[in-house]
Chain A
């Protein structure tokens, strides 16, 4: 139960905004990730959802240490990443890998599949050079690609196959955790299902943890054990996937769930949809108090006063809303 592989404690990532050409002045801060506390267990699939600009991708990059952390700690496998030296980081990075959204942009067009997959093996010295070809062939088989395509270039593959190559590259170092940033949103429905199956199957077989970032709630519901909903840099609801999506508690999650179109004409025509007014606010100038209050149908005076903390709601769920008991 307490086999926690990744622990985030009050993690913040802020970006300063500068203005002026000669004399740079600090004019503001984008709080892309603001006080996120989260734990991922071994073998668990955590879905991370939210609208664009809510900080899901920045959170992923913060965990990967691709952007500097402003505050808080990221602990992977008992190791605090912000205190690691460069050599330690190299070893740590073997334990976590990333799959990106666009398989057209994330693979080097001038490298063959073999070169792409052999590179991490050679850089990290995972195995003797003589064993590399066999390892690459194995990786390709794991993700459902025939090893005979080894000498082909990315442009010779379809989107779904490219995403398989990207997944194989992430698996090459036998990581403990994979962060997949919208891995299926660039793919067609029929191909999406193939990649989702592959990811789910890999997690089960290799006891891999997965942070699955997406904006499509139906996809997240299917693949995740737990779901975290983000709004403007903060987690506002966290809990088991089925609970959160079938019985959302936070007004924002409710609106998000009700906005998903269902492929069922009778349901679609009769149900009440909560249509939120306006766009998500800017993270440069977040509203005072609860960041959601300007769009929230239940907002009151007290919502504008203080930022609601993420509090337990039952044994497995956490919600950040001050009016939780009243609505």
Chain B
């Protein structure tokens, strides 16, 4: 049985300018110990998906219109607050993109690190501090005994992200959701953080949902990847299949537009146009206006995810009809 099963999740934002269908009917699951990558451009709904699971969608304007998220037998979207509190922050943890805004600048690192332990476990302050210290050393912070009493502003960006990871992992979660954890960091620091996440995953045997827009990061880290576009999943497959035989025109176009995949000096392949405005109801395939293989059928019929092979699903009408 999968650790987390999300079924038909719809998260809409009701604003003065209309209803933004940020996430519009997505279903996926994560197995224990697996790393799932969620890839997409900004506004494709990848972060909102995870915020919905964690109960972090600001309500209003956000509203979860439909769907379930079953985590080990409990529906995270419809359970009581008490049930949710026992899971969120303990068995499911999250790390965010910007470690400066997600750490509390007024509290010492030590206070922030032991907070999840004091809330979720019957543990004395002294024992909690000892565990926090061990965790800081685990994530590779030198001189942790001294640094644990510092404030976030005294740490560099990479170190703050390590603190965030330590804080998320201190309760030994079964699922870690990482929302673009390395986007704000330099490549050399990014390499350190990715190695750290891999190492911690091996040690704790946890599942990871890794959200990113960087296909390069996904290729080395994830077992399975799902590509999102305009609030829907357009393709999902294991990493090798997705990179070596992508089916959906969007995945293919995305891959072709990465500079490192193309010969130098040639014109880069680009996807024309822009992602659609999610506040207007979309008829047909949401990628149709930018797709090079578009037909009349694409503009009227909404494609659904359908299997290509055992672990490979995609949502393109023409691929499904065998035309591409």
A interface residue numbers (CB < 8 A to B) = 51-52, 158, 160, 188-194, 196-197, 200-201, 215-219, 221-223, 241-242, 255-256, 258-266, 268-269, 273, 275-277, 279-280
13 further A-B contacts with Cβ under 8 Å, apart from A51-B187, A222-B262, are A52-B157, A188-B213, A190-B257, A216-B187, A217-B187, A255-B188, A256-B188, A261-B191, A262-B216, A263-B215, A265-B239, A275-B191, A276-B191
| Contacting pair A189 B268 (CB below 8 A) | no
| Contacting pair A261 B216 (CB below 8 A) | yes
Q: Which 8 A-B pairs have the closest CB atoms?
A: A261-B216, A268-B220, A218-B260, A222-B259, A259-B191, A263-B215, A51-B186, A193-B268
| Contacting pair A276 B216 (CB below 8 A) | no
Chain B residues near A190: list those with CB within 8 A: 41, 253-254, 257, 270-271
* Pick from B189, B214, B261: contact of A261, CB under 8 Å: B214
| Contacting pair B270 A158 (CB below 8 A) | no
| Contacting pair B255 A222 (CB below 8 A) | no
* Pick from B158, B186, B255, B258: contact of A218, CB under 8 Å: B258
| Contacting pair B186 A52 (CB below 8 A) | yes
| Contacting pair B41 A260 (CB below 8 A) | no
| Contacting pair B216 A263 (CB below 8 A) | yes
* Contact count band on B: 35 or more
The smallest C-beta distance from A42 to any residue of chain B, in angstroms, reads 18
The residue of chain A having its C-beta at the shortest distance from the C-beta of B217 within the complex is A261
Chain B residues near A223: list those with CB within 8 A: 259
Identify whether the interface residues of A are mostly helix, strand, loop, or mixed: helix
| Contacting pair A189 B187 (CB below 8 A) | no
| Contacting pair B258 A189 (CB below 8 A) | yes
Q: Is B68 part of the binding interface, using a Cβ–Cβ cutoff of 8 Å?
A: no
Identify whether the interface residues of B are mostly helix, strand, loop, or mixed: helix
| Contacting pair A269 B220 (CB below 8 A) | yes
Question: CA A241 – CA B186 in complex, angstroms?
Answer: 20
The smallest C-beta distance from B36 to any residue of chain A, in angstroms, reads 15
B interface residue numbers (CB < 8 A to A) = 41-42, 156-159, 186-192, 194-195, 213-220, 239-240, 243-244, 253-255, 257-262, 264, 267-271, 274
Question: CA A256 – CA B186 in complex, angstroms?
Answer: 10
| Contacting pair A263 B261 (CB below 8 A) | yes
| Contacting pair A263 B260 (CB below 8 A) | yes
14 pairs, A vs B, C-beta closer than 8 Å: A190-B253, A197-B268, A201-B267, A215-B186, A215-B187, A222-B264, A261-B219, A262-B220, A263-B218, A265-B220, A265-B239, A265-B244, A275-B195, A280-B186
Question: CA A196 – CA B259 in complex, angstroms?
Answer: 9
Q: Count chain A CB atoms within 10 A of each CB in B215, B216, B253 and give the residue with the most.
A: B216
The residue of chain B having its C-beta at the shortest distance from the C-beta of A258 within the complex is B191
| Contacting pair B259 A219 (CB below 8 A) | yes
Chain A residues near B190: list those with CB within 8 A: 259, 261
| Contacting pair B268 A196 (CB below 8 A) | yes
The residue of chain A having its C-beta at the shortest distance from the C-beta of B44 within the complex is A188
Q: Count chain B CB atoms within 10 A of each CB in A52, A222, A280 and give the residue with the most.
A: A222
* Pick from A200, A262, A265: contact of B240, CB under 8 Å: A265
Question: CA A188 – CA B44 in complex, angstroms?
Answer: 11
The residue of chain A having its C-beta at the shortest distance from the C-beta of B258 within the complex is A263
Question: CA A196 – CA B12 in complex, angstroms?
Answer: 34
Question: CA A259 – CA B270 in complex, angstroms?
Answer: 25
| Contacting pair A264 B219 (CB below 8 A) | yes
| Contacting pair B270 A194 (CB below 8 A) | yes
The smallest C-beta distance from A153 to any residue of chain B, in angstroms, reads 16
Q: Count chain A CB atoms within 10 A of each CB in B192, B216, B270 and give the residue with the most.
A: B270
Chain B residues near A222: list those with CB within 8 A: 259-260, 262, 264, 268
Chain B residues near A189: list those with CB within 8 A: 41, 213, 215, 254, 257-258
Question: CA A188 – CA B40 in complex, angstroms?
Answer: 9
| Contacting pair B219 A262 (CB below 8 A) | yes
The residue of chain A having its C-beta at the shortest distance from the C-beta of B220 within the complex is A268
Chain B residues near A276: list those with CB within 8 A: 188, 191-192
The residue of chain A having its C-beta at the shortest distance from the C-beta of B190 within the complex is A259
Question: CA A266 – CA B267 in complex, angstroms?
Answer: 26
Question: CA A198 – CA B255 in complex, angstroms?
Answer: 19
